A = this chain, B = another copy of it.
Amino acid sequence: MASQMPNQAHKFAFGLWTVGNRGGDPFGEPVRPPLDPCESVRRLGALGTYGVSFHDDDLIPPGTSPAERDRIVADFRKALDDAGMVVTMATTNLFGDPVFRDGAFTSNDPAVRRYAIAKVMRNLDLAAELGAGIYVFWGGREGVESLAAKDGRLALDRFREALDFLCGYVIDHGYPMRFALEPKPNEPRGDLFLPTVGHALAFIERLEHPEMVGVNPEMAHETMAGLSFTHAVAQALWAGKLFHIDLNGQKIGRFDQDLRFGSVDLVESFHLVRLLTESGYDGPLHFDAHAYRVEDPEGVWDFAAGCMRTYRLLADKARRFAEDKEIQAALRDAGSADLARPTVGAYSAEAADRLRGEPFDLESMRARGYRNERLDQLVTELLLGAR
């Protein structure tokens, strides 16, 4: 199955900036030439990709004239149509320009904050024009190096103010669009506000329009902090807030690597794919990653094809996980299905009394093994193709 190409039904998507990444890093110059967005669409389409996403500046370079902008948009739309692809998501570059060096929505400079909101408004129009149903906010400069410089509570006030205003804008214009916040613990700032999926989910509850804002968890970002990405996605799903997802690979505790999906942690990647499958998530499967800097332009497409192929291989294994009799028996030994059973139900004085009087066979409860080693080893063997 996975030997054939992916197709539209797989809903794979890439950002223009991912395949367009030129390989520059803090210690070295770009190694690959710029890539035209339309060419990206053509190549991605040929690989069976469903959608693309973009930052405003990826598509419309700053300083573009209105006429030129219209030409770019028309060309881009034609390329999408030719490739049978769609725009799945759009977002704003609020981090590259020196103007945002102290933050965008949370810059200490009110003019910068207003400029940031205006920049988003402009791109919301384009996103709507191109049919993006999801608009992502990654606050790459919303943070500090010096804890003296910003009161975190005020920063959250300003962050909320900006999102409330922009929700108002989208509602006012009737755009069929939802927002997704993308958390990250650090880099490029020393510490970022809303560092994890949890912090973003909590923040959303204090917004004026919480129902139209969800999260865009990124595998690399949670992993940088050593957190289980599968658990983060599970909590987002549990809260009804998984509006989008960024797939890639990352080692814990180091710089943002944005590696090929599946290249680092096959176990976590597998359980993630299994969770997405079981949950019925049907949004785009968006890869926010880029090719190694050692690659030439052709290597970029090896990278892109690899992301999708590994996802499909893992999805196939997720299907087999559900069908494998030995694995299902091990799940029973682990009591996994029993976690779905209510423990006590809703509180009542009677229920409390009953519970207080309930006898427990502590000795046998203490002796019970959950056989997770066996279950986990079966997963290892499933992953290794040995079952």
Contacts and interface: CB of A to CB of B under 8 A. Distances in A.
Contact of A197 (B187, B198, B228): B198
A43 interface: no
A279 B297 CA distance: 35
A199 B335 CA distance: 25
B313 A152 contact: no
B336 A303 contact: no
A23 interface: yes
Interface in A261-316: 262-268, 271, 275, 278-279, 291-300, 302-303, 305-306, 309-310, 313-314
Contacts of A161: 342-345
A3 B144 CA distance: 28
B202 A313 contact: no
Contacts of A153: 234-235, 237-238, 279
Contacts of A158: 339, 343
Nearest to A24: B26
28 contacts: A25-B26, A99-B362, A110-B343, A114-B344, A114-B358, A145-B372, A148-B321, A149-B331, A151-B275, A152-B275, A161-B343, A162-B343, A165-B346, A172-B352, A188-B293, A193-B235, A195-B198, A196-B196, A199-B201, A225-B226, A251-B252, A253-B254, A260-B373, A263-B377, A266-B384, A292-B372, A295-B372, A295-B373
Contact of A299 (B225, B296, B369): B369
A310 B109 contact: no
Contacts of A331: 148-149
A184 to B, nearest CB: 10
Given A196-B227, A254-B187, A259-B145, A152 B238 contact: yes
B254 A226 contact: yes
A317 B367 CA distance: 38
Interface stretch (A4-12, A69-77, A80-88, A115-123): A115-123
Contacts of A372: 144-146, 148-149, 292, 294-295, 299
B164 A347 contact: yes
B23 A234 contact: no
Interface string A149-187: 111111111100110111111001000000000010111
Contacts of A112: 365
A293 B101 contact: yes
A328 to B, nearest CB: 11
B164 A346 contact: yes
A367 B235 contact: no
Contacts of A352: 121, 165, 168-169, 172
When all copies of this chain in the complex are counted, the total is: 4
Interface in A56-105: 95-102, 105
B380 A263 contact: yes
Contacts of A264: 265, 267
A339 B379 contact: no
Contact of A373 (B167, B306, B384): B306
Contacts of A100: 28
A98 B202 contact: no
A231 B146 contact: no
A355 to B, nearest CB: 5
A15 interface: no
Given A108-B335, A226-B226, A335-B109, A294 B205 contact: no
B191 A198 contact: no
A29 interface: yes
A373 B302 contact: yes
